[in-house]
Chains A and B, each alone.
Chain A
């Protein structure tokens, strides 16, 4: 809490100059912190409504369609129509896993923006296990855990690379993680067009049935209500990851170290914490969770390795972690919101309208969030003079 308005009249402002100041609000009431996202989302929807009216769509109709496609309607739930929730869960699953991984790294101020690449490497390792390492007849009780392990380890080792570079050579992790995304995607392409390709189509062969995560629809014999529902076990990985990360951060010594290093690395060093070890470890867990997201997406949804099977989950994860204020539980909530937006988006054509709507919502929510955190002040010359006088007088 070192910031205050006093610090802002820094240097020697010329008495005649106009100045624009962006300063952090000193007091932000707790209730505002939680209510602001809701206000911002409503504001974004209002802006979107204007846009929709301009292009000739009734916004109420459009929003009700998007919402019911994403989350269903109470009347529908009573009739047993829970597929919108299932669809949204499918989309939210990789977002939760990557989002919580990114949030963990960000908490220690390791700016891991490489979740997309870590997800791809996790997916690659998963495919290797499912198609090439284990026989198709392997029991799912062995197959699935082996794939999970491979996915997590793949992402973890890939995350370790920028971690090691940062810890020992102080290489900026923003650059390395960003660039390694592209390496991972092209690495993946090499395999699906090369050694693992099926007729040059940019696909691997399909995974054997024993390598599929169970889906709700698999239970439809016993529960007809689950017919056609594609939500899969991966969502439980996501929830488990959230619980574990939350517990680590809140109740363990390691979590305490992560928080201290994040807030004040110098103090952490004086306190004898091992920065190098923690940097690498956090990057590994963060990458591992993204790798697990890749595993769950392949094993639960796509069932093969494909070019661009991820529409950028690892990048969206950064936005999600931010909107969730790095709170693991918040990641679940925000991921469901984003998942719903992705699912409901198909309800309007042409496609560009929805893209624009999504863009507006993101822009308003994130831009508004900054405005709530900070205030922009335009200082007129007189005031600067006054304040300089005040400052010297006091």
Chain B
């Protein structure tokens, strides 16, 4: 016979367990290690500490995600909540664009799905329910997809930000954000020059090729309008952590930067700069500036809708071919607030606006591609020649796709030779990439 004490202690423990499970749930953020993975804690519903309210009309209310008879049904699987004011928010805008612009398309979404086994189960469930296409938007979602795509050959699978694919019904997608970051860098450089600080700060989420590539493009942009400027860097090892992002911004400002450019998800760093009467550049979504419009010089943002619309049209027409699909400014997948929509705030020096506009026009006309940005001679921040005169980096170089990764996943691609693991000239000389584990 158990006595009452046993049950009291058990009851207390259960309460502790509930608390831990609740906190554990929050800690259960999607694996943050992925390129663009881990956008937000699994169960926060509210917008990040940036304080930006989630636009209610965008969320579409409560729903049960099911296909609709007679429609072309597309399901989106998100890693974060659509109210994150960043990565997932931008994808959800893309979903709305798709539904509004392609005839006969019905879309649903599932948010805050943890990477790994849960995502696999969710995607299988959607395929069984009869969705025609499934779009998964976090790096870690890709690993289960080859198997699921083989099980459901009639469903088209599109993955964003990864490198896996098959020949029939599973492709991947990414875009040349480096172009938009370059133009944003030109604006940052101009502002730092006007301020006389000659110093820009960059918040780097993870020491991976994507982040390094974007930081390098940004820095080259800074140096175009402000050759004497230097770019300082802080590594924060997360995509989404409002506190760390703000601390990194403050540290950069303390070190003398007057413009902070974030590579992470929330607009917090821009607000932190605004509180000191200084400037920031946000990331991910065209609404990221709305939290602090006066101090937010611009946002390089994603415009996923154009890709999603094209994908749906092609799958409907039966012409879609899975590929390593990489769109650029030409196709409109990236944009720069102030140029592609909206206006620059007064803080952007007048003289840089035509320069930025001209550069952007060359990018959208196809005159300056991502490869043109990464054509030698390019030196690193220690003075070594990394890309010799006349040499252009390959797509694999840009993605830092090394032999170990290619072998590990059986990819049919060449290994990178000048892999994206160096910081370009213009970063402060003592800036380094933290130890990257060898695969």
Contacts and interface: CB of A to CB of B under 8 A. Distances in A.
Given A83-B128, A352-B45, A319 B27 contact: no
B116 interface: yes
B207 interface: yes
A183 to B, nearest CB: 14
A199 B405 contact: yes
Given A307-B32, A349-B63, A366-B14, A205 B408 contact: yes
Interface string B342-355: 00000000000000
B179 interface: no
A24 B1 CA distance: 13
Contact of A322 (B14, B29, B42, B152): B14
Interface stretch (A121-129, A138-146, A190-198): A190-198
A87 B117 CA distance: 11
Contacts, number: 194
What class of interface size applies to chain A in its complex with B?
35 or more
Contact of A346 (B27, B59, B122): B122
Given A113-B17, A311-B24, A366-B14, A197 B31 contact: no
A393 interface: no
A353 B206 CA distance: 32
A370 interface: yes
Interface string B10-50: 11011111101110110111111111010000110100000
Given A113-B13, A202-B33, A350 B62 contact: yes
A319 B439 contact: no
A62 B65 CA distance: 11
A134 interface: no
Nearest to B434: A200
Contact of B21 (A192, A205, A312): A312
A301 B121 CA distance: 10
Interface stretch (A36-44, A53-61, A152-160, A238-246): A53-61
Given A193-B33, A308-B28, A230 B17 contact: no
A344 to B, nearest CB: 10
A319 B25 contact: no
A96 interface: no
Given A55-B62, A263-B3, A197 B439 contact: yes
B361 interface: no
Contacts of B439: 197-199, 205
Nearest to B151: A228
Interface in B101-145: 108-118, 120-122, 124-125, 128, 139-140, 143
B6 interface: yes
A65 interface: yes
Contacts of B128: 83, 228
B4 interface: yes
Contact of A90 (B24, B63, B121): B121
Nearest to A321: B10
Contact of B116 (A90, A174, A302): A302
A366 B18 contact: yes
B110 A311 contact: no
Contact of A343 (B9, B28, B43, B121): B121
B64 A347 contact: yes
A349 B32 contact: no
B53 to A, nearest CB: 15
A46 interface: no
A105 B37 CA distance: 38
Nearest to B401: A199
Given A111-B9, A307-B33, 6 more contacts: A311-B118, A318-B13, A346-B113, A349-B109, A350-B81, A355-B43
26 contacts: A2-B3, A3-B3, A57-B62, A83-B124, A111-B9, A193-B437, A199-B402, A201-B208, A202-B33, A202-B34, A202-B37, A227-B151, A228-B152, A301-B117, A302-B116, A308-B116, A309-B116, A311-B118, A312-B21, A322-B11, A346-B121, A346-B122, A350-B81, A350-B82, A351-B112, A362-B18
Interface of B: 1-4, 6-7, 9-11, 13-18, 20-22, 24-25, 27-35, 37, 42-43, 45, 59, 61-65, 81-82, 108-118, 120-122, 124-125, 128, 139-140, 143, 151-152, 206-208, 402, 404-405, 408, 436-439
Interface of A: 1-3, 24, 55-57, 61-62, 65, 69, 83, 87, 90, 106, 109, 111, 113, 116, 174, 178, 192-195, 197-203, 205-206, 217, 227-228, 230, 262-263, 297, 301-302, 304, 306-309, 311-312, 315-316, 318-319, 322, 343, 346-353, 355, 359, 362, 366, 370, 373-374
Which 7 pairs, one residue from A and one from B, show the smallest C-beta to C-beta distance?
Answer: A202-B33, A318-B17, A312-B24, A197-B437, A351-B112, A352-B45, A24-B4
